[in-house]
Amino acid sequence: MTDPGGAVVGAAGAAGPEGGGSAVVARPTGAGRGRRRSRRQFGARIAILVLVFGYLLLPLLAMLEFSTRGDYGSRSLRSYVAILEYPDLIDGITTSLGIAVLTVFGMLLLLVPTMVWTIVRVPRMRRVIEFLCLLPLAIPAIVLVVGIAPIYRWMGQSLGGVGGSPLTLALVDIILVLPFAYRAIDSGMRTVDVATLADAARSLGAGWPRTILQVIVPNIRGGILSASVLAVALVLGEYTISSLLSFDTLQVVIFLLGKRDAYVAVAVSLAALVFAFVLLYAIARFAPGTGQRARIAPEEEPAT
C-alpha cells in the first residue's frame, strides 16, 4: 500500500455494483452424493471468504497499527490530531470535493441527455455511444495526460484564474468516470421504457429539458445515484493525473505528506478511506427516493 491512491480506489471497488461478493458463490451441486461434497464446498467457501477479507482487511489493519504507534511501543492518536495542522491537507480535501461535485454534475449533464436522445431518436447509435464511453478504460492515464497537458497549459495561460484552477481537473475526471457512469445509468434506463415515457411526455407538451428532468430523471434515480457514487469515489482516489498536471488534490497532498511524515500520511490515507466510505454510504442511503425504485420494477397484473 505504498501508492496513496490505492487506498480510496480500493473503497471504490468495494462500493461499486460489481463488488467481489459474487466470487464466493459456488455453483449448485447435482442431487445424489451431495452431503460430503457440499460440506467440502462449505469449507471452501469459508476459506475463500477468509482469504478475501484477509486480503482486503489486512492492509487496513496494518495501516491502523502503524498510524497509532506512539513512543516506546505505546498507542497514540497523535498522527490523527496532526492532520488538522496541515493546511495543505484541508485545501486538498476541499479541492477534491469540489472536483467531485463538478464531475458528478458534468458527467450527468453530458451523459443523461445524450443517452435519452440516443434511445429515443437514434437507437442504432447505442452501441457506438457505449463503445466511446468505455474507451477511457483502454487508455492508460499517462497517455491521457500527454494528450491533455497542452490543453491545460493553454487554459492556465489564457483563461486566467479559472483556467489554472484545480477544479478544471473535473474535465478529465468526467472522461475517466464515463465507463462506470455509462454502465450505471444504462442499467437504470433499462428498467423503464425510456422511449415511450419520452414520447408520452412530449405528446403532452413537454420540451426535451422538461421531458428529461421531470419524467426520465426521476425514474432512473437508481442509475444516476450509482453513477454519482462511482464518480465521487473515482475523483477522491485519483492520483496519477492530478499529480502529473501538478494540481494539489487530496491524494497528491497525501503523497507529499508521506515524504515528510510517514505516520501522518498513513493516518490520512486511512481517514480518507473511512471518509470516502461514509460519504458513499451516506449518498447511497440518504439520497431522495431511493427506496421506491425496487418496488416499481416487478409489477404484475392484479385483478381489475
Partner 1 sequence: MTATDPAPAAAGRGVAVQFEDMHRWYGSVHALDGLSIDIAPGELVALLGPSGCGKTTALRALGGLDEVDAGRILVDGRDISHVPTNKRSMGIVFQAYSLFPNMTAGDNVGYGLRLRGIGTDERRKRAAETLELVGLGGFVNRYPHQMSGGQQQRVALARALAIQPQVLLLDEPLSALDAKVRRQLREEIRRIQIAVGTTTLFVTHDQEEALALGDRVGVMSAGRLEQIAAPAELYDRPATAFVAEFVGLTNRVKGMASNGVVDVLGGRVPLLPGSAGPGPVTALVRPEAVQLAPEDGANARVLAVSFLGSLGRVQVGLPDDTLVVAQVPATDVERLAPGTAVRVAVVPVPVFAVAE
Interface with partner 1 includes 157 (CB under 8 A)?
no
Q: How far out from the chain centre does Cα 120 lie?
A: 28
- Judged by beta carbon, residue 24 or residue 294, the one nearer partner 1 is 294
Least CB distance to partner 1 at residue 186 (A):
18
Q: Which candidate, 47, 56, 80, places its Cα nearest to that of 7?
A: 56
Interface with partner 1 includes 193 (CB under 8 A)?
yes
Q: Which candidate, 188, 95, 176, places its Cα nearest to that of 141?
A: 176
Q: Which candidate, 165, 162, 224, places its Cα nearest to that of 189?
A: 224
Least CB distance to partner 1 at residue 232 (A):
24
Under rule CB under 8 A, which residues in 8-47 are in contact with partner 1? none
- Identify which range of 92-100, 154-162, 253-261, 295-303 contacts partner 1 by CB under 8 A: 295-303
List the x/- string, 252-291, binding to partner 1 by CB under 8 A.
-------------------------------------x--
Interface with partner 1 includes 3 (CB under 8 A)?
no
Residue type, 136: P
The Cα–Cα gap between 225 and 183 comes to 12
Least CB distance to partner 1 at residue 199 (A):
5
- Judged by beta carbon, residue 18 or residue 299, the one nearer partner 1 is 299
Least CB distance to partner 1 at residue 286 (A):
18
Residue type, 98: G
Interface with partner 1 includes 122 (CB under 8 A)?
no
Interface with partner 1 includes 88 (CB under 8 A)?
no
Interface with partner 1 includes 125 (CB under 8 A)?
no
**Cβ 265 vs Cβ 258: under 8 Å:** yes
Interface with partner 1 includes 81 (CB under 8 A)?
no
Interface with partner 1 includes 97 (CB under 8 A)?
no
Judged by CB under 8 A, the residue of 122, 143, 199, 213 near partner 1 is 199
Interface with partner 1 includes 110 (CB under 8 A)?
no
What is the 3-state composition of the chain as percent helix, strand, coil, each rounded to the nearest 5? 80, 0, 20
> How would you class 82 by CB atoms within 10 Å of its CB: exposed for 0-12, middle for 13-18, buried for 19 or more?
middle
Q: What cell was used for 126?
A: 447505442
- Judged by beta carbon, residue 158 or residue 304, the one nearer partner 1 is 304
Cα→Cα distances 156→95, 149, 191, Å:
17, 10, 43
Contacts of the segment 24-33: beta carbons below 8 A, 24+ positions apart: 24/48, 24/49, 24/52
Interface with partner 1 includes 161 (CB under 8 A)?
no
Cα→Cα distances 176→103, 109, 115, 282, Å:
10, 15, 18, 23
Q: What cell was used for 24?
A: 464466493
Q: What cell was used for 38?
A: 457440499
Least CB distance to partner 1 at residue 181 (A):
21
Q: What cell was used for 129?
A: 455511444
Interface with partner 1 includes 126 (CB under 8 A)?
no
- Count of residues that interact with partner 1, criterion CB under 8 A: 27
- Residues of this chain that interact with partner 1 (CB under 8 A) are 192-193, 196-197, 199-207, 210, 214-215, 218-219, 289, 292, 295-296, 299, 301-304
